[in-house]
Structure 1
Amino acid sequence: MNEMIDNFNLKKWITITIFLISKFFLFFILLIILELIFNKSIRFIGKKIVISTNFHWYNILYENKVFDSLAHCFTLFIGFIFISIFFENYPTIIFYIKKIFDIVFVLIILQFLIRVINSIMKITTNENNHQTIAVRSFFQLLKIIFIIFCVLVIISILTKNDIITVLTSLGAITAIVILVFRDIILGFVSGVQMSSTKMIKVGDWIGIHKYNIEGTVREINLTSAKIENFDKTITSVPTYDLISTAVTNFEVMRKKNIRRIKKSILFNIQSFYFCNSDKLENFKNFYLIKNYIYKKKKEIEIFNKKKNIDLTLDINGRRLTNLGLFRQYALEYLYQHPKISQSETLMVRYLDPTPYGLPIELYCFTKTSESIKYEEIQASVFDHLLTASKEFDLKVTQVTYSSNF
């Protein structure tokens, strides 16, 4: 044992270990000092340049810590030179430290590029421009490419192979790479298409029937789109779905400050009838259709007299019906409503009969796109028409559901 200890020369190794630890400690202290010096210097120089050139991007570059990454690069460069000075008698240590520095340098360059891209994206992004989507998609794709390239460079450093050899060896798994990045590729293509066709942009009010969601687009990135619903919840959908599925864009209505009403009232067919003279006299008291009844009654009398029609039967000739008069009343009511747009499509029409009755649909636009005001206008219209239908002896269909307990 004594011979082994003598051969090992324990005191010598302890001395060397302490000496190397001291050198490493001093080396790291030097790196920290260099980092502080370069960080302060680069920020100071950058600020002076901004002041002298009226460069307004300094705050964005500062927020994204671009100057910090630049300072790291200078620190690593000077530190790389000092490696040989600090560890000149230890070639193995120099070799491994330089390899670590190479990897760290690649990571710092990647960090610098990503921060620069984030800054440029923030500067060039304009939420009211359709090109925003393409810019975001392009920069996000660029970041992914840089990350992949840096990973390949690190693999090249660790395996002592050049980058071409690493790329060649990865050629066999191209299909797997494409599969992994399928959503990213589709998202990039979708962003370009949306930008070129000006279909959707950030801030648009859209509805996606596939997911039964409706709200405002808050973000469109490479893989997903974030939509803020009217209840303030956030829904994320794949970016590709914005061009592959049916999407309704309501932004035109919001720009025009209008919003569509498209709802129907279902009437019981058993309540429909031809109007006789007494009924017409009663309906003439309704202000909105008074002139219409007078005009139509005269027109029908001339027609029936000309055709010499036997009017003893209600079915013979032309006659007004309570349903037809109500439809005209609803139309006139919309024409006279101060909060219904008269410059857009406005009609009251019959839909296809159903087993539950005949729907009459109101199709018009309000003069506001604000949800609360829109709902108030829509409610007031239907409150009035549903109640007014009783005056025409019409019955609104009510389906009664029975439960067996």
Structure 2
Amino acid sequence: MIKIEYYVDKIIQMCGLTGMSVTVARFILLVLVAVVLASVAGILFRKIVTPIVRNITARTKVTWDDILLGDDILKAASRIVPAVVVWVLLPMIFTRFDTVHEILERATAVYITVMSVNLAIVFINSLKLLGNNINSSTQQYFHSFCGVLKIVMIFIAVIAVVAIIIDKSPTKLFAGLGATSAIMMLVFKDTISGLVAGIRLTSNNMMRKGDWITVPKAGADGTVEDITLTTVKVRNFDNTIVTVTPQTLVDDSFKNWIGMQNSDGRRVARKIYYDFNHIHPAGRELCDRLVEKGYFNAGEITPDTVNLTLFRRYAERYLAGHPEVNSSMTIMVHQLEPASLGLPVEFYFFLSDKEWLNYEHNRDDIFEYIYAITPDFGLKIYQQYIGREA
């Protein structure tokens, strides 16, 4: 700084200035020097330091340094360097202008504080990218921690900026926060409740990013795309985005399909109502027809067997031999409690292909076949007819 002032004074002497013009010229030259040095510092950081850091991180085998020293972090850091140079040179420029010096010094300090917090937030966001490699519930803990950390950094920055503006010690402002804690609780009520609910979701392993969940109350039925402190974003199968609060998921019930997706099959449980009037012993003629059509072999059935019993036996055999049905899991065709619509028979089995479209098609193919063969057993599916006016 002394050398800068020395060379500035030399330039003024070489120009032959005297009197009041010396003070004005000295001030202008010092301002220009400060602007030039700050600009040069910023350019050097972007053109020299940044490429050097990139080359070093690119040559290492680890990946964490590429994330923690990425372009966004270096760009945020480059915004601080010129302000630091100006901060250092301010006392030299405004030696005779105390009021202007104080105002600019505070303004520069506020800028450095804001940019430093911005750098910290970018760094925290980079930490979240490191957490993407975690496939367990620890990832959600990590993201929640990063969210809380950003809130704390912003809160501290606000206190620091206010302290700089009013020229008070930040410790005194922190000490006075006890009286305003109730107001802060109201301001961050949603964030705090969301954090607690998010911790409950992740600690109990109730939901992860990528899970298929169904929340009837919120109209959500799709894949979890993002989990933050205050929101859970679900992309429905029609590509609409539904935003649900973690508190809603904790307070109300929701269905997570991860158990089905990780299992060996997706369940099918469907009821078909059969007319009571068509349930009767098979008789010789029906038995012969069933053998002729290949449903049973001769000797497997007797005329005194009820046709519904034969149908249930064949349906279970058909399901067990179907290539899309997981035969190692439960396969059952059984009666439920009689109802006014007829006798309900439930078909309970699991399909191996759990992908939504294939699951729907395979299930429909099976039941369409069951509907088609029902008359062969002398049965009739109950269907309510609505009379029409002549």
1:349 and 1:362 in contact (8 A); partners too? yes
Q: What SS does the corresponding residue of 2:380 show, helix, strand or coil?
A: coil
Report the CA distance shift for 1:353/1:366 in structure 2 as closer, same or farther (over 3 A): same
Which of 163, 169, 178 is the matching residue for 1:171? 178
Asked if 1:44 is matched to 2:45, the reply is no
Tell me the matched-pair count. Answer: 371
Asked if 1:219 is matched to 2:226, the reply is yes
CA distance in 1, matches of 2:174, 2:388: 69
Report the residue type matching 2:121 in the other structure.
I
Report the residue type matching 1:328 in the other structure.
R
Asked if 1:121 is matched to 2:128, the reply is yes
Asked if 1:331 is matched to 2:307, the reply is no
Asked if 1:360 is matched to 2:367, the reply is no
Alignment of 1:103-252 (within 5 A): 103-126=110-133, 128-252=135-259
CA distance in 1, matches of 2:169, 2:374: 84
Alignment of 1:71-90 (within 5 A): 71-90=78-97
Report the CA distance shift for 1:358/1:167 in structure 2 as closer, same or farther (over 3 A): farther
Q: What SS does the corresponding residue of 2:218 show, helix, strand or coil?
A: coil
Structure 1 counterpart of 2:370: 385
Please state how far the C-alpha of 1:337 moved relative to its aligned partner.
Answer: 0.7
2:223 and 2:234 in contact (8 A); partners too? yes
Deviation track 1:64-97 (CA, whole Å, cap 9, x = no partner) reads 5111232333332221110111222111011001
Structure 1 counterpart of 2:306: 321
Please state how far the C-alpha of 1:124 moved relative to its aligned partner.
Answer: 2.6
Report the CA distance shift for 1:272/1:120 in structure 2 as closer, same or farther (over 3 A): same
Structure 2 counterpart of 1:316: none
2:210 and 2:225 in contact (8 A); partners too? yes
Q: What SS does the corresponding residue of 2:345 show, helix, strand or coil?
A: strand
Please state how far the C-alpha of 1:109 moved relative to its aligned partner.
Answer: 1.2
2:279 and 2:379 in contact (8 A); partners too? yes
Which of 336, 355, 362 is the matching residue for 1:370? 355
Report the CA distance shift for 1:162/1:379 in structure 2 as closer, same or farther (over 3 A): same
Asked if 1:98 is matched to 2:105, the reply is yes
Report the CA distance shift for 1:206/1:74 in structure 2 as closer, same or farther (over 3 A): same
Structure 2 counterpart of 1:264: 271
Taking every aligned residue pair, what percent have the same amino acid on both sides? 26
TM-score by length of 1: 0.80
CA distance in 2, matches of 1:26, 1:403: 96
TM-score by length of 2: 0.83
Please state how far the C-alpha of 1:48 moved relative to its aligned partner.
Answer: 4.4
Alignment of 1:305-320 (within 5 A): 320=305
Report the residue type matching 1:111 in the other structure.
N
CA distance in 1, matches of 2:183, 2:220: 34
CA distance in 2, matches of 1:143, 1:291: 77
Structure 2 counterpart of 1:314: none
Please state how far the C-alpha of 1:261 moved relative to its aligned partner.
Answer: 1.5
CA distance in 2, matches of 1:78, 1:22: 16
Report the CA distance shift for 1:100/1:210 in structure 2 as closer, same or farther (over 3 A): same
Which of 264, 287, 294 is the matching residue for 2:294? 287
Q: What SS does the corresponding residue of 1:125 show, helix, strand or coil?
A: helix
1:200 and 1:249 in contact (8 A); partners too? yes
Deviation track 1:19-60 (CA, whole Å, cap 9, x = no partner) reads 978865664444222211223333134234325644434543
CA distance in 2, matches of 1:83, 1:243: 55
Asked if 1:341 is matched to 2:326, the reply is yes
Structure 1 counterpart of 2:280: 273
Unaligned runs of 5+ in 1: 1-12, 299-318
Please state how far the C-alpha of 1:284 moved relative to its aligned partner.
Answer: 4.2
Report the residue type matching 1:272 in the other structure.
I
Q: What SS does the corresponding residue of 1:368 show, helix, strand or coil?
A: coil
Report the residue type matching 2:196 in the other structure.
V
Report the residue type matching 1:93 in the other structure.
V
Report the CA distance shift for 1:291/1:375 in structure 2 as closer, same or farther (over 3 A): farther
Please state how far the C-alpha of 1:169 moved relative to its aligned partner.
Answer: 3.8
Report the residue type matching 2:320 in the other structure.
Y
Unaligned runs of 5+ in 2: 1-19
Report the CA distance shift for 1:85/1:401 in structure 2 as closer, same or farther (over 3 A): farther
